[in-house]
Structures are given as structure tokens and as C-alpha cells.
Amino acid sequence: MIKPHGSEKLNPLLVSDANRNKELQEEGATLPSLLLNSTAAANAMMLGAGYFNPLTGYMNLEETISVSKNLHMKNGLFWPIPIINITKDISGLNGKKRIALRDPNITENPIIAIMDIENIELVTGEQMQTIVKEVFGTIDISHPGVATFYSLGNYLVSGKIEVLNFSYFKNEFPDTFKTAQQIRDEIKDRGWKNIVAFQTRNPMHRAHEELCHMAMERLNADGVVVHMLLGKLKKGDIPAPIRDACIRKMVELYFPKNSVMVNGYGFDMLYAGPREAILHAIFRQNMGATHLIIGRDHAGVGNYYGAFDSQEIFDNRVPKGSLKIKIFPADHTAYSKKLSKVVMMNEVKNHTKEDFIILSGTKVRQMLNEGIAPPPEFSRPEVAEILMKYYRTEEIN
């Protein structure tokens, strides 16, 4: 099986030993606390689940600047986006060396990790702008990822962590949320050698479905892991439980049996385009995938990135040998009226835009809101029904 990124063996930071976990919970109740923001909590989830292997905690300012500018940590490890705990209020942390990190996503704010503080550093306005510009490619606060980052604070709290639980993800998504090791174990049990990962933050339409079929066929893959984001998105995106239901229905009806694993991970979408595409590749390698599908404007938002920037960065900024996982670059896929099937648009000749069935997200949402099913060439009817039911319920509420 493909090796994890940066190490021979996966190093998840979850404390799985029950006795040790209980000891840390009890210790945490006596320690000073820091209430995490959602971004820092999401990073803890990914560290705990092994997706951010081989990191052992939150990066300090020197590492953050190095990763932002050079895509490398000080020890030479290739890494595309700073994994940090940045906060507004450090009033209770001065002089403290060990603290409890508390969950912002559950009402009682339970402890989710114990942290050994390495340093607490003020990030200057100039440094913040450098980080944002390098990671997101823009400092425009209309960009949702930039706006979120600037809202988090300017004190960087770095150090190693031990993760005690997976917040609400295990309870709310018991059949979908999986750690990197759990996915590796299932891949091994299935005997898969070539594994394609498909990243999604949306319900899968016909074009996405066919893209998975294409990748599996062309790569001679044993199976595909549809790996959906379960954390926070932007306003207007479809909630995770609805996406989960749509994807499972599509897999049940339109893929060969035992050819797809449907899993999810607890992270917040960054909308960082090319840099986030590399991060997606790293944690898919950590979960055992040999290939990741990278389509048009992967992990992008609005018009901040070029259509193929998230593919080209693997040629332009990823040093040879830095990653073991490979990408499957894809163009936009759509239903061809001429050929009566879904195709990759750059692979067919004698087609104009009018020869394809292409619907914008806005148009699809409008149709669903009005109780109109998108055409079957765009969306499987069984999937469309789930989405229409959701929109009808939203309208009532």
C-alpha cells in the first residue's frame, strides 16, 4: 500500500488507549483552557484522524511563514498550507505550558485535545497579509477563505497536541466519518491496489459520477473512495447529511457493487484553490489513495483562480518525489446531446456550447426550490428527488 506522507507509518494524534484518554480528560479539567475557533478545531480533527501525517501539532510562526512562502517546513517536509491555532484572546495563557483545548462546535465546549505550548506569538499585520496572499492568492476580503482567516485573531499558539475525541462527527455521521487509518484498513480488507479518491463538497451529479467511472477505467483502478467534506462550508451550500444521502443513493444504483467507498472527513472548506488541492492530495495519500481526481477550479470559489490552476500547481510548485500520490487531471464533464452520454468536454470534436447540457448552480437551486427536477442528463432522478425534498422542507421552515 502507498506510504503516508513524510513517514513510514501513519501517526494519528488521537489517544486511542482508553485509560490514557481518561487520564488526559481528568487532567484537562484542571488545566487552563482555550476555546478554539472552528478552523483550529478542524485542524485538530485532521491531526487526530491521521490525515495531516506526519505533523505532531500546530505550527509556529516561523513554520507558518516558511510553508506559506516556500511550501516547505523548516525540516524540509513539503507542505502547502499552514496548520495553525490562531486566536484573538490569550489572556488566560500567559506563562502556561500545558492547556486544554475546547470544542467550539458543541454547546458545553468539551475538551477535545491537550496541548503542550511551544510558543505564543503575535502575528503582525504585514505577516498576516503575507500568509493570506501566498495561501489564497489574494487579500480580497470578499473571498470567503480570506474573510474567515482575517476574522480568527492574530495570536499564534503553537505546540504538540493529543486529541481526545472527534467532536460531533462520530455521532452525527457514524457510517460516513472515518479516520485515515480506518480507510486504509478497509482498502486492505478489500484487496484494492489502485485507489482513486474523489473530493466533494456537493451532491454528485451525472458529470461527477461519470468522472469517477472514467478515472477508474483509465487508471485500471480497483475502486474509488468518494470522500466528502463534513465540516463547515459557505452559506447556501447543501448540508452534509443531504449530500451523504444523495451520494449513497447514486452509488447504490449506478456503480458496480463493492467498487465505491463513501466516507467523510471533519474539516472546514478553505476555498484556497491550488494550495488546497495539494493539501487534498496529501491527506488522500495518508488515507491510502494512489490517485486523486483534480477537476476544473478544484477547491476554488468565484473567479479567484484559473480553471486549471489546481492542476498546474502540481507541475509548477510540487518538487519531484515530494508526493507519492498522483493526480488524475480532468476537464469539465457534461452531457453531450450529440453523443447521448456524459463526456469530458475537451475530448470531443465538433461540439459547441449548445451541444452540452450545462446548468449553473444558481439555476439548479432555482429549479429545486420550485419543485422542478433537473433533466435526467444532468442529475439522476433519484438524487434529484432527495434534493427537492430538502428544498421543500427548507421552504416550509
Candidate list 21, 98, 109, 201, residue with the active-site label = 201
Identify the three-state secondary structure at position 363: helix
Candidate list 11, 202, 317, 365, residue with the active-site label = 202
**Other Cβ atoms within 10 Å of 380 Cβ, number:** 21
Residue 225 · residue 246 · CB < 8 Å = no
Q: In what order do the strands lie in the sheet with 341-344?
A: 341-344, 333-336, 356-357
* Catalytic residue check, 201: yes
Shortest CA distance to 16 belongs to which of 50, 41, 59?
Answer: 50
Residue 249 · residue 386 · CB < 8 Å = yes
* Catalytic residue check, 37: no
**Other Cβ atoms within 10 Å of 17 Cβ, number:** 10
C-alpha torsion angle, residues 156, 299, 271, 86 (rounded to 10): -10
DSSP E strand boundaries for the chain:
33-35, 57-58, 86-87, 98-102, 111-122, 155-163, 195-200, 223-229, 260-265, 291-294, 326-329, 333-336, 341-344, 356-357
Residues designated as active site: 201-202
